[in-house]
């Protein structure tokens, strides 16, 4: 094994010490989604109930960015043992198991979404079990997830991106990192007419405004 893929005991101890639970210890301090001000909960009640675009937010999930060596079988086995599902090694694919989902981001990078309260324990398991040289960063605070569905969801994406959304080239499970209305987004097809948008926290309000504008002609239904 080369120097790059092996770590000393001291380095392993250091990476373990670096892990920190980002959630506050007292249960009363609640996290806020970057779309907190949009108040999807009451918009779902008083807004339109029929329309071509359905939008909901999966707020406060755990976002873990894993970088490791796709050729290192020990690392791949460790990831599979923790998540219960192997890393998707084929470009632009994703896998899902229960509440966990893993997206291919780059030849040596994956984005793992887990329930928000589990992020710390998953991260700790990685620190205990992952061999060799790797990086795992809890980037939960940096982005949020929007679910876009409805009969006109593809039309809205066609207006906002340069990607070909036809099912023959963009099947269910495919994931792309691209520009959505000029801001970076990771978009995954979870069903024929259902898409998952992972967007930057700082662009969340802009994209919320964009989606409202882009869905004017179809009708926008907010789901809590």
Query: Strand, coil or helix: what is 110?
Result: strand
CB of residue 37 to another protein, shortest distance in Å: 27
Nearer to another protein, 12 or 161 (CB): 161
Helices (H), 19-88: 40-46, 73-83
How large is the C-alpha radius of gyration of the chain?
A: 19
If the CB atoms of residues 8 and 90 are measured against another protein, the closer one turns out to be: 90
Give the per-residue contact string, 89-128, with another protein (x = CB under 8 A; - = no).
--xx------------xxx-x-------------------
Q: How far is the CB of 45 from another protein (least distance, A)?
A: 36
Helix then strand then coil, % of the chain, to nearest 5: 30, 30, 40
- Residue 106 or 124 with smaller CB distance to another protein: 106
Cβ–Cβ under 8 Å, residues 132 and 6: yes
Positive or negative: CA dihedral 206, 64, 145, 115: negative
Q: Which range binds another protein by CB under 8 A, 21-29, 139-147, 173-181, 201-209?
A: 173-181
Is residue 71 close enough to count as binding another protein by CB under 8 A? no
Q: Per DSSP, what are the bridge partners of residue 2?
A: none
Provide the mask over 131-170, with x wherever binding to another protein is found by CB under 8 A and - wherever it is not.
-------------------------------xx-------
Which residues between 180 and 199 bind another protein (CB under 8 A)?
184
Select 32 or 90, whichever has its Cβ closest to another protein.
90
According to DSSP, the residues that pair with 177 across neighbouring strands are 186
Q: Confirm if 188 and 196 have CB atoms less than 8 A apart.
A: yes
176 near another protein, judged by CB under 8 A: yes
The tokens for 13 are 């101890």
Beta strands in 115-209 (DSSP E): 135-138, 143-149, 175-180, 183-191, 194-200
* Residues lying near another protein in the complex (CB under 8 A): 91-92, 105-107, 109, 162-163, 176-179, 184
């Amino acid at each position: 094994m080369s120097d790059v893929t092996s770590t000393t005991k001291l380095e392993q101890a250091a990476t373990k010490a670096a892990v920190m639970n980002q959630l506050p210890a007292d249960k009363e301090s609640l996290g806020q989604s970057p779309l907190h001000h949009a108040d999807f909960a009451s918009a779902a009640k008083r807004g339109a109930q029929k329309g071509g675009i359905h939008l909901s937010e999966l707020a406060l999930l755990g976002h873990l960015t894993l970088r490791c060596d796709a050729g290192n079988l020990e690392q791949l086995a460790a990831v599979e043992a923790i998540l219960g599902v192997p890393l998707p090694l084929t470009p632009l694919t994703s896998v899902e198991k229960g509440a966990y989902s893993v997206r291919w981001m780059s030849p040596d990078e994956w984005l793992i979404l887990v329930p928000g309260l589990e992020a710390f324990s998953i991260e700790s398991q990685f620190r205990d079990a992952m061999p060799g040289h790797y990086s795992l960063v809890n980037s939960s605070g940096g982005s949020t997830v929007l679910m876009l569905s409805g009969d006109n969801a593809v039309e809205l994406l066609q207006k906002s991106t340069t990607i070909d959304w036809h099912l023959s080239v963009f099947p269910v499970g495919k994931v792309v990192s691209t520009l959505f209305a000029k801001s970076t987004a990771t978009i995954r097809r979870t069903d024929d007419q259902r898409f998952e948008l992972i967007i930057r926290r700082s662009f969340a309000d802009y994209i919320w405004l964009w989606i409202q504008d882009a869905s004017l002609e179809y009708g926008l239904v907010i789901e809590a």
